[in-house]
Structure 1
Amino acid sequence: MKNLIIDIRLLLGLACAHALIYFSFHDKAIFWYIFTGSILALIAYSKFQGDVDDEASFGQYILVGAISGLLIYFIFWLGIKGFELFNIPFQKDLNRLYKWFAPHLFWQYIALILVAAPGEELFWRGFIQKRLMNYFKPAISIVLAAVLYATVHIYSGSWLLMLAALLSGFAWGLLYYWKKSMPMAIVSHIIFDIMIFIIAPFR
């Protein structure tokens, strides 16, 4: 624990992530401009800290990445149905999230697929989770990284987005640890985003 406390690179990375994501959510009118720049900054920071794992073949990370992305989407769909079944109020929050933060312009969809999804995986799984592995057992590292990933979403003002980040972060963290393949985690994230924002949104 002592070494974790003095891990300046990890702490600085988390501080930068919170600051950048805070400013991203601060002004909804320019969210996608600031968010895209913020993720690019986090990509740059994470790449200076070391290499990520890439132990799967092209065919493996495309196939398993696509299947896992669809599976995570299906789990979220079941969650939505569960909210409806138990009359948990969520629709207003969900509609607000899509209205304020979902991509609407063509360049925003490109940024989502080519910047946001890869960048979040490179930073939160490739850097934060991998760094935590130096101090904790894998299970604890995966859960802790998912919790930290969820905390930056507090600035959205949405409990639903925080919950979604926690669950998806855990799923991608588990996938990354299991298959030791960053491209696989990125493909999974991209497929999930395509489903939830383009093909079959929940709104």
Structure 2
Amino acid sequence: MSLLLLLIGPSVLIALGLLLVQNIPVTFVLFYGWLFLAPLVDSVIIRRRSVRDTLRDFGFIYRKRNLFAGYLVGALFFLVVSAAMYLYHPYFFDREHLQDLLRRWEFTSAFTGWLIFILIAVNPLLEETYWRGFMMRRLQGVLPMGARVIVTSFFYALYHLGPLVPMMLWPANVLLTVPVFGAGVIWAVMRHRSDSLWGSVASHAISDMAIIGVYLLYIV
């Protein structure tokens, strides 16, 4: 599969699901389906790597210090996001507009349980596997390490514009991609230094708990 397709594929599917179909459940199926299938197709079917070798290439190796660092970084991100939203959430979004938008996107409080499961279990694992595992490995030999970190973090942050632009107030809807990019850089460096993906997954999961808190406290 071409590198350009692999880099922009998630952004295209987010835009298709939210802006064209305007349906969050459909967007989840398209987006997470791509994150799950694209690495397997490219690595196992096209490049004929075994599943075991593929998982090792992606960083599914246990490193105690890496996992501990992931917990610490995740806790820091959780505190920063929670504090920022507690203090400044009126500057980030309008609650009534956001509730109306979510209804138009076919997302109601009935999906809250699924949202919690997806953000804690599915999203961190698939996003970290795709960007910090698969794409970091896929760009090896094409770009130097620093460039790989920047490129994967940029395209990781890029598709967050899909939900942020219509959901958040200007200029927060654009500026919030900056900390997303920064988190991507940190998780990529963690994965590179330890050769393990688990710390990044743990950190991402804890960070996503703050998003769940924002949804439960300020939106529903």
TM-score interval for Structure 1 and Structure 2 normalised by the shorter chain? 0.7 to 0.9
Single out whichever of 44-53 and 114-123 deviates more from structure 2: 44-53
Query: Following the alignment from structure 1 to structure 2, what is the Cα–Cα distance between the partners of residues 15 and 199?
Result: 28
Give the share of equivalent positions with the same residue, in percent: 21
**CA shift in 2, pair 1:135/1:24, >3 Å:** same
Report the Cα offset of residue 21 of structure 1. Answer: 1.3
Query: Following the alignment from structure 1 to structure 2, what is the Cα–Cα distance between the partners of residues 63 and 200?
Result: 27
Do structure 1's residue 46 and structure 2's residue 39 form an aligned pair?
A: yes
**CA shift in 2, pair 1:186/1:26, >3 Å:** same
* Structure with greater Cα Rg: 2
2:2 partner SS: helix
Contact 2:149 2:189 in 1 (8 A): yes
Q: Which amino acid aligns with 2:206?
A: I
Q: How does 1:14-163 map to 2 (within 5 A)?
A: 14-26=7-19, 30-50=23-43, 51=54, 52-57=58-63, 59-76=64-81, 80=84, 90-92=91-93, 100=102, 104=109, 105-156=112-163, 157=165, 158-163=173-178
Contact 2:66 2:190 in 1 (8 A): no
**CA shift in 2, pair 1:178/1:72, >3 Å:** farther
Query: Following the alignment from structure 1 to structure 2, what is the Cα–Cα distance between the partners of residues 42 and 68?
Result: 24
1:194 partner SS: helix
TM-score (normalised: structure 2):
0.69
2:192 partner SS: helix
* Stretches of structure 1 lacking an aligned partner (at least 5 in a row): 1-7
1:49 partner SS: helix
Q: Which amino acid aligns with 2:62?
A: A
Report the Cα offset of residue 106 of structure 1. Answer: 0.5
Contact 1:94 1:160 in 2 (8 A): no
Q: 170, 186, 192: which one pairs with 2:207?
A: 192
Report the Cα offset of residue 177 of structure 1. Answer: 1.2
**CA shift in 2, pair 1:109/1:142, >3 Å:** same
Contact 2:81 2:210 in 1 (8 A): no
Query: Following the alignment from structure 2 to structure 1, what is the Cα–Cα distance between the partners of residues 185 and 134?
Result: 15
**CA shift in 2, pair 1:22/1:200, >3 Å:** closer
2:42 partner SS: coil
After superposition, the C-alpha distances for 1:52-103 in whole angstroms (9 at most, x for unaligned) are 123433x44542321121123345467x39x96xxxx943379967974999
**CA shift in 2, pair 1:103/1:63, >3 Å:** farther
Contact 1:150 1:162 in 2 (8 A): yes
Instruction: Report the aligned-residue RMSD.
Output: 3.3
